[in-house]
Amino acid sequence: MLKIVERKKKPIITCIVTGRTYGSVNQASMLWKNQGEDATLNCNHTMTIEFYQMYWYRQLPGELMKQMVYTIPNAEPDFEPDFRDEKFSVTKPDAHSGTLTVKNLVPGDQGLYFCAVRIHSDTDTLNTRTKTSDHEL
């Protein structure tokens, strides 16, 4: 969760990253950053290599949770439309780790952020992915 706290007249943004940990998906529980800075959130797991799909989610106060991005190693991330700008970036260097960066923090970034990993049914194709078309033929 991102919160603004007054300290010596300088706003501080607190980022509490939480989520259900199933097995061994791990995230830091809290990250403190100043307004205007970037916040990089780390996620890693010790499950098998088949759990290479990583998803990042955000829930703003009073809103429903939204998926931000889907990513796999060595591929371009698939950002959801609301998150396709320079505000967010992700890395996914391998099957077991990834990061989400929220750039130039502002009070409107206050919210709950978490990652999830998922096993892929076709584990022989780690470096490929498909997305169904948004358009009807």
Kindly tell me the number of DSSP H helices and DSSP E strands found in the chain.
0, 11
What confidence score (pLDDT) does residue 118 get?
84
What confidence score (pLDDT) does residue 14 get?
47
What confidence score (pLDDT) does residue 23 get?
61
What confidence score (pLDDT) does residue 39 get?
92
What confidence score (pLDDT) does residue 21 get?
45
What confidence score (pLDDT) does residue 8 get?
45
What is the reported pTM? 0.72
Domain boundaries, the chain: 2-118
Fold of 2-118: Immunoglobulin-like (2.60.40)
Locate tokens 């709950």: which residue?
112
Return the amino acid letter for 74: N
pLDDT, block means (10 residues), the chain with 137 residues? 46 47 65 88 86 92 94 95 93 93 92 84 48 41
